[in-house]
Amino acid sequence: MLKEPVVLEFLGLDEKAEYSESDLETALINHLEHFLLELGKGFLFEARQKRFTFDEDNYFLDLVFYNRLMRCYVLIDLKLDKLTHQDLGQMQMYVNYYDRHVRLPDENPTVGLVLCKQKKAAVVELTLPTDSNIHARQYQLYLPSKKLLQQKLLEWTRDEQEHS
- For residue 90, pLDDT over 60 is answered with yes
Cα–Cα distance for residue pair 10/131, rounded to 1 Å: 33
CATH code given to domain 6-162: 3.40.1350.10
pLDDT in tens, 110-148: 999 888 877 877 787 878 878 888 888 877 666 666 777
Predicted TM-score of the model (pTM): 0.68
Q: What is the per-residue pLDDT for 123?
A: 81
Q: Give the DSSP per-residue string, 17-35.
A: S---HHHHHHHHHHTHHHH
pLDDT in tens, 26-42: 777 776 777 777 778 88
User: Nearest to residue 52, comparing CAs of 90, 14, 88, 97?
Assistant: 97
Cα–Cα distance for residue pair 29/76, rounded to 1 Å: 13
Q: What is the per-residue pLDDT for 159?
A: 77
> Can you list the positions of beta strands (E) in the chain?
6-7, 43-54, 57-67, 72-82, 111-118, 134-140
Cα–Cα distance for residue pair 68/5, rounded to 1 Å: 23
